[in-house]
Amino acid sequence: MPLEFKGEPINTIVLPESVTIFEVKAIHEALLSVASNSLLTLDLANTAEVDAAGMQLILAFVQQQEKSANPVQLINVSDELQATLMLLGAELGKSNQNAGVAL
């Protein structure tokens, strides 16, 4: 499943079902194509599988965007992925844990 872009200009990116080493290159290239947008949301509603390479891609993209003053919000994050993000030091949004993740 390819990435889905929403909004004009693009402000929401729906990640595919699988974000693994096999998809990381294509996802990375797609993310870079919209990286200059000021407010981006990564929607993980469809994402069922994330391996170490996928997690590294997501975290690196969010951190790079923040360094560029272009924050990224993660939404519709599964409980399992939230737990992994917490182990890696990400801070979950306080209002609704399924609403977003701040890094």
CB 35 within 8 A of CB 70: yes
Q: Alpha carbon 61 to chain centroid distance?
A: 8
**Burial of residue 1, with CB atoms counted within 10 A of its CB: 0-12 exposed, 13-18 middle, 19 or more buried:** exposed
Separation of alpha carbons 66 and 83, rounded Å? 22
Q: What is the pLDDT of residue 95?
A: 34
Question: Does the reported pTM lie above 0.75?
Answer: yes
Question: How do the pLDDT tens digits run along the chain, 103 residues long?
Answer: 567 777 665 688 899 999 999 999 999 999 988 877 667 899 999 999 999 999 999 989 988 888 888 888 899 999 988 888 888 776 544 333 444 454 4
The domain locations on the chain are: 4-102
Superfamily (CATH) of domain 4-102: STAS domain (3.30.750.24)
